[in-house]
């Protein structure tokens, strides 16, 4: 034991340890800390990320932030984008038709997103330990032992559960011997954040032709643009080879037929189309989220968003188990609900990659056909829901409710939009404000004398009027999960007050 850091003033035992301090790991930690649990984040980097990296925050992720009361922090700094592209097709995906307070994507560099999340985590009391390189993860019957080095000195910490949010080469996933199945890299893309002396007429440009594929968009507020491209003349370059500004400018001009005159790069990088997904998201006391669970080509700006939504799904469930308000089997529903989302993400990004990186006449003809198909409003909306994350639903029940609650097919498991509510005492609030503390909410939609606090910690709310939401107004009461999805409904009030939630 003398070989390890075991200082008396340094906590080494936690309810949970999150390996990886990016947006996904930070959000898991925030959910756990919100439940007053002891959680540590072990991050190998000594400083916050400075590259912009992920640029897009989609609408459902904005709702996730709204569910915890911090969305304004992001909205105040980002650039709202009402439409998006799918595979660089010319017909845009229209977010403005979606039923949400956030019918847009938000352009915000990942460095800023990560900084805001770290600030929130520190406010909640998360123990963030930078410069901690994890090397071993040992799972035992009652705990996990995490070992590694910090400043060349060994350390060891203990936790009841560990979450691997440590990226594509996840040490946690490897320690758990979870297979990462999929496809190796076959193509290389360039990504850059640069100033353009000759920007395009429209702020978001997508071009695909025989010379290659190019996507160009404002980085956020300021003068820099994000450029992503595939050059048909060099489909595969060693991803470790640095990108030069001259190479980027030459490739972009060849594809666009005009010189944007890029300068002042703040980020130049190569990415590949390697696509993989973990066969399991949970193995005993080890759980995976974000890039540790799924990687793909950077198409559609979805990776960080799906990862944060993984973290939201996992966070409140793990918190419930750790606090003893739910059985351990609740953790099995994390994989059951999120693994299909990961597989859908894999297929989505592979399809977009094909549209963006193949330049033969048949593919160009297919692009023209799909651009016409996306003019159909119903089809466009389906793609908008898919990209934004609003289309995700969890139709299987989390738990076996008592006889007074019902799992209603086509209703239970659906995402609930934020809605204005008038409470029984006449005051007004919104649904998402009621969920900010991370607890379940029971909405009583019909007059009911049963207005005592719920013994299981559910936030019991009695309304003076209906919600004007056709999804739930036909029921006497509804049970809403901490992540804003509808769990169970009750047609006619019975004696139960929902104490079986999560059991």
CATH number at residue 55: 3.50.50.60
Last residue of a domain, one of 323, 354, 388: 388
Q: Within a domain: residue 5? A: no
Phi, psi of 28 (to 5 degrees): -60, -45
Q: Write out pLDDT tens, residues 362-380.
A: 999 999 999 999 999 999 9
pLDDT at residue 453 tops 70: no
- Range with lowest mean pLDDT among 89-98, 148-157, 341-350, 400-409: 400-409
Structural domain containing residue 439: 393-503
Q: Which helix (H) or strand (E) holds 190?
A: strand 188-196
Judge if 380 and 450 occupy the same domain: no
Same domain, residue pair 280 and 336: yes
Amino acid 204: pLDDT = 84
In a domain, 503, yes or no: yes
Q: Based on the fold, state whether residues 158 and 305 are members of the same structural domain.
A: yes
Instruction: Please give the model's pTM, rounded to 2 decimal places.
Output: 0.94
Q: Quick one: pLDDT at residue 448?
A: 59
Tell me the C-alpha distance between 441 and 433, whole Å: 11
Q: How many domains are there within the chain?
A: 3
Residues 149 and 197 in one domain: no
175/283 same-domain check? yes
Structure confidence at residue 492 as a pLDDT band (50, 70, 90): low
User: Tell me, what's the pLDDT at 418?
Assistant: 97
Asked if residue 359 lies in contact with residue 232, where contact means CB atoms within 8 angstroms, the answer is yes
Lookup: tokens for 264: 């002042």
Q: What are 163's strand-pairing partners?
A: 18, 287
Lowest mean pLDDT among 47-51, 335-339, 384-388: 47-51
DSSP string, 31-91: HHHHTT--EEEEES-SS---S----EE-HHHHHHHHHTT-HHHHHTTSEEESEE-STT-SS
Residue where a domain terminates, one of 319, 354, 388: 388
Distance from C-alpha of 359 to C-alpha of 364, rounded to nearest angstrom: 6
Residue indicated by tokens 């030069």 = 244
Same domain, 144 and 61: yes
Q: Do 36 and 119 fall within a single domain?
A: yes
258 and 209 Cβ atoms separated by less than 8 Å: no
**pLDDT given for residue 450 in this prediction:** 53
In a domain, 245, yes or no: yes
Specify if 460 maps to a domain: yes
Torsion 348-349-354-356 (CA) sign: positive
- Please provide the average confidence, as pLDDT, over all residues in the chain: 92
Q: Is 117 within the bounds of a domain?
A: yes
Same domain, 175 and 296: yes
pLDDT level of residue 495 (50, 70, 90 thresholds): very low
**In percent, how much of the chain has pLDDT > 70?**
93
403 and 379 both lie in a single domain: no
User: Could you tell me if residue 90 is inside a domain?
Assistant: yes
In a domain, 8, yes or no: no
Element (H, E) at 272: strand 262-272
- Residue 53 has a pLDDT of 85
**Is 398 found in the same domain as 378?**
no
Report the distance separating Cα 108 and Cα 254, nearest Å.
28
At 284 the pLDDT is 97
The domain that holds 412 is classified in CATH as: 3.40.30.120
Residue 3 in domain:
no
The encoded tokens of residue 434 equal 């009621």
pLDDT score of 222? 75
- Place 203 in a pLDDT band, splitting at 50, 70 and 90: confident
At 171-184, the pLDDT tens digits run 999 999 999 999 99
Residue 216: pLDDT band with limits 50, 70, 90: very high
């Amino acid at each position: 034991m003398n070989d390890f850091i075991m200082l008396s003033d340094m906590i080494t035992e936690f309810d949970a340890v999150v390996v990886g301090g990016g947006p996904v790991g930070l959000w898991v930690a925030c959910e756990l800390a919100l439940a007053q649990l002891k959680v540590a984040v072990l991050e190998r980097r000594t400083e916050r990320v400075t590259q912009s990296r992920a640029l897009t925050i989609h609408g459902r992720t904005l709702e996730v932030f709204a569910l915890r009361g911090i969305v304004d922090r992001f909205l105040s700094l980002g650039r709202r984008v009402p439409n998006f592209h799918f595979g660089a097709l010319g017909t845009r995906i229209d977010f403005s038709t979606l039923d949400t307070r956030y019918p847009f994507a938000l352009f915000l560099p990942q460095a800023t997103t990560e900084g805001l999340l770290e600030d929130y985590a520190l406010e909640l009391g998360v123990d963030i330990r930078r410069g901690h390189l994890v090397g071993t993860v040992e799972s035992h019957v009652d705990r996990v032992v995490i070992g590694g080095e910090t400043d060349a000195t060994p350390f060891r910490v203990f936790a009841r559960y560990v979450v691997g949010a440590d990226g594509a080469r996840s040490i946690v996933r490897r320690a758990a011997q979870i297979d990462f199945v999929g496809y190796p890299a076959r193509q290389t893309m360039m990504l850059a954040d640069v100033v353009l002396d000759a920007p395009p007429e429209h702020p978001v440009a997508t071009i695909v032709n025989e010379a290659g594929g190019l996507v160009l968009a404002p980085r956020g507020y300021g003068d820099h643009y994000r450029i992503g491209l595939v050059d048909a003349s060099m489909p595969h370059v060693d991803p470790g080879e640095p990108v030069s500004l001259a190479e980027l400018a030459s490739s972009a001009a060849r594809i666009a037929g005009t010189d944007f005159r890029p300068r002042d790069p703040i980020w130049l990088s190569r990415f590949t189309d390697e696509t993989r997904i973990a066969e399991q998201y949970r193995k005993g006391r080890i759980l995976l989220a974000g890039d540790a669970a799924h990687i793909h080509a950077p198409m559609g700006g979805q990776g960080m968003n799906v990862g944060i939504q993984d973290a939201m799904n996992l966070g409140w469930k793990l918190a419930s188990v750790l606090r003893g308000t739910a059985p351990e089997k609740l953790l099995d529903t994390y994989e059951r609900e999120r693994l299909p989302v990961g597989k859908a993400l894999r297929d989505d990004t592979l399809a977009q990659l094909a549209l963006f990186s193949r330049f033969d006449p048949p593919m160009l003809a297919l692009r023209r056909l799909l651009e016409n198909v996306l003019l159909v409003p119903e089809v466009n909306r389906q793609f908008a829901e898919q990209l934004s994350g609003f289309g995700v639903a969890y139709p299987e029940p989390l738990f076996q409710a008592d006889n007074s609650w019902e799992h209603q097919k086509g209703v239970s498991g659906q995402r609930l939009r934020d809605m204005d509510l008038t409470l029984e005492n006449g005051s007004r609030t919104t649904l998402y404000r009621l969920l900010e503390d991370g607890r379940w909410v029971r909405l009583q939609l019909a007059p009911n004398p049963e207005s005592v606090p719920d013994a299981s910690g559910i936030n019991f709310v009695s309304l003076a009027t209906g919600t004007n939401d056709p999804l739930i107004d036909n029921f006497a009461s509804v049970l809403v999960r901490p992540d804003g999805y509808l769990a169970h409904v009750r047609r006619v009030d019975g004696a139960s007050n929902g104490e079986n939630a999560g059991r």
